[in-house]
């Protein structure tokens, strides 16, 4: 297509006379019969406009004015953004110099973290006490991601188009199932309980050492995946259905929201949670950190297994 034709279509699109999506579904950008008719109608309207005293010069001036305004707004926006970025860079400390304020927060975490949070693990005290609201947002992101994947991949009569019998055809498809393998089942009987116990240990010990909700939930999610691989979806669906998975995630996120949502009303200045911090190093220590770790771990485990199940068979479990 010639440059002149592209230019003509672009100007007609700006005037609302041309649809850029026209003929896209047919794989062609050439004008069709309907386009020719519309072009003829537009031409007649232009003739009427000329007859009524509206000249083409006026239309051209309006178009030129629009371009000038558009160009001016674009230039001003770019200059403003560049100015904000340069001003931010100017406030940074010089190369080789240390910014005293940059270490105030980290020093507070290190020097007073154990006393104020009751957690031996500084990282757990930071993400589930000082910055617990950030972790709440991350947990909600996981839950929202699971919902989006479910909307896209779940196979049922509500979201499958049956006009071409694709729903019934997909239901007849069988995925590769290794749960019938004897070696896999026998190995699963040994390794799955160990994985679950290890995941629970990481989940409950997050305030005292490496671990916590995200890592413990990842181990539990991996345990559910291996459990399904060894024993099949039928056994998993008997105890862990879609409703159970969503209910666990909902209760966990609701508890987390109510437990830390008070910062909206009372101020985010490390308010006391009125729960005894316990003895540092003990299982029941850290105040709210332990239950929050459990809540985050359950959300992570349900999300991991939900992704796996949806990608493999198109549903989380029986309802």
Percent pLDDT > 90 in the chain is 13
**Whether 214 and 82 share a structural domain:** no
**Whether 136 and 71 share a structural domain:** no
Question: Does residue 127 register a pLDDT over 70?
Answer: yes
Residue-level pLDDT at 46: 63
Judge whether 204 lies within some domain: yes
Taking Cα atoms as reference points, which of 129, 132, 97, 306 lies closest to residue 217? 306
**Whether 138 and 88 share a structural domain:** no
- Our measurement of the distance from residue 66's CA atom to the centroid of its chain's CA atoms, rounded to an integer in Å, reads 38
pLDDT higher at 180 or 142 = 142
Judge whether 269 lies within some domain: yes
Judge whether 197 lies within some domain: yes
Percent pLDDT > 70 in the chain is 66
Span 132-141, mean pLDDT? Answer: 84
**Whether 127 and 259 share a structural domain:** yes
In the 8-state DSSP scheme, what is residue 164?
Answer: T
Domain that holds residue 71: 42-92
Judge whether 70 lies within some domain: yes
Contacts of residue 123, Cβ cutoff 8 Å, sequence gap at least 6: 212
Question: Does residue 290 register a pLDDT over 50?
Answer: yes
Residue-level pLDDT at 206: 84
Instruction: Name all contacts of 83-87 with Cβ < 8 Å and 24+ positions apart.
Output: none
Span 152-161, mean pLDDT? Answer: 65
Q: With bands split at pLDDT 50, 70 and 90, how would you rate the model's confidence at 82?
A: very high
Question: Does residue 258 register a pLDDT over 60?
Answer: yes
Judge whether 108 lies within some domain: no
Span 284-294, mean pLDDT? Answer: 83
Q: Are the CB atoms for 157 and 170 separated by under 8 Å?
A: no
Span 92-97, mean pLDDT? Answer: 76
* Rg, C-alpha atoms of the chain: 31
**Whether 148 and 62 share a structural domain:** no
The Cα angle at residue 267 between residues 266 and 270, in degrees rounded to 5: 105
**Whether 82 and 129 share a structural domain:** no
Q: With bands split at pLDDT 50, 70 and 90, how would you rate the model's confidence at 147?
A: confident
Judge whether 12 lies within some domain: no
Judge whether 210 lies within some domain: yes
Residue-level pLDDT at 191: 92
**Whether 306 and 168 share a structural domain:** yes
> Across all residues in the chain, what is the average pLDDT?
76
**Whether 192 and 277 share a structural domain:** yes
Span 273-297, mean pLDDT? Answer: 79
**Whether 193 and 250 share a structural domain:** yes
| Last-in-domain residue among 92, 108, 132 | 92
164-199 tens-digit pLDDT: 444 444 444 455 667 777 888 888 889 999 999 999
Q: How many domains does the chain have?
A: 2
Question: Does residue 79 register a pLDDT over 90?
Answer: yes
Span 215-241, mean pLDDT? Answer: 88
Span 241-246, mean pLDDT? Answer: 83
Taking Cα atoms as reference points, which of 293, 272, 146, 267 lies closest to residue 213? 293
2-26 tens-digit pLDDT: 566 766 766 666 666 655 555 544 4
**Whether 79 and 196 share a structural domain:** no
**Whether 160 and 259 share a structural domain:** yes
Residue-level pLDDT at 43: 67
In the 8-state DSSP scheme, what is residue 240?
Answer: S
Measured CA to CA, the distance from residue 128 to residue 138 in angstroms comes to 12
188-227 tens-digit pLDDT: 889 999 999 999 999 888 888 888 888 999 999 999 999 9
Span 26-49, mean pLDDT? Answer: 57
Judge whether 32 lies within some domain: no
Task: State pTM to two decimals.
Answer: 0.62
Q: Are the CB atoms for 149 and 307 separated by under 8 Å?
A: yes
The Cα angle at residue 306 between residues 303 and 310, in degrees rounded to 5: 145
In the 8-state DSSP scheme, what is residue 101?
Answer: G
**Whether 74 and 139 share a structural domain:** no
């Amino acid at each position: 297509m010639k440059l002149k034709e592209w230019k003509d279509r672009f100007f007609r699109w700006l005037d609302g006379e041309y649809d850029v999506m026209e003929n896209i579904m047919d794989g062609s950008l050439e004008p069709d019969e309907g386009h020719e008719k519309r072009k003829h109608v537009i031409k007649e309207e232009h003739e009427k406009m000329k007859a009524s005293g509206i000249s083409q010069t006026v239309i051209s001036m309006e178009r030129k004015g629009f371009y000038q305004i558009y160009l001016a707004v674009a230039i001003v926006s770019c200059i403003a953004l560049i100015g904000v970025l340069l001003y931010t860079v100017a406030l940074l400390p010089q190369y080789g110099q240390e910014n005293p304020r940059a270490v105030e927060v980290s020093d507070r975490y290190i020097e007073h973290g154990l006393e104020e949070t009751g957690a031996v693990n500084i990282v757990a005290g930071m993400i589930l006490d000082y910055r617990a609201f950030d972790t709440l947002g991350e947990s909600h992101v996981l839950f929202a991601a699971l919902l989006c994947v479910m909307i896209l991949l779940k196979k049922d009569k509500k979201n499958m188009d049956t006009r071409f019998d694709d729903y019934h055809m997909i239901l007849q498809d069988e995925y590769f199932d290794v749960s019938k393998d004897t070696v896999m089942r026998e190995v699963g009987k040994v390794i799955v309980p160990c994985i679950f116990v290890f995941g629970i240990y990481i989940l409950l010990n997050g305030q005292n050492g490496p671990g916590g909700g995200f890592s413990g939930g990842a181990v539990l999610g991996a345990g559910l995946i291996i459990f399904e691989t060894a024993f099949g979806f039928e056994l998993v669906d008997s105890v862990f259905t879609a409703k159970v998975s969503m209910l666990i995630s909902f209760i966990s996120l609701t508890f987390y929201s109510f437990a830390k949502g008070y910062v909206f009303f009372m101020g985010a200045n490390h308010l006391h949670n009125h729960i005894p911090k316990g003895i540092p190093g003990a299982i029941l220590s850290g105040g709210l950190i332990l239950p929050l770790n459990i809540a985050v771990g359950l959300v992570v485990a349900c999300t991991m297994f939900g992704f796996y199940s949806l990608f493999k068979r198109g549903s989380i479990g029986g309802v």
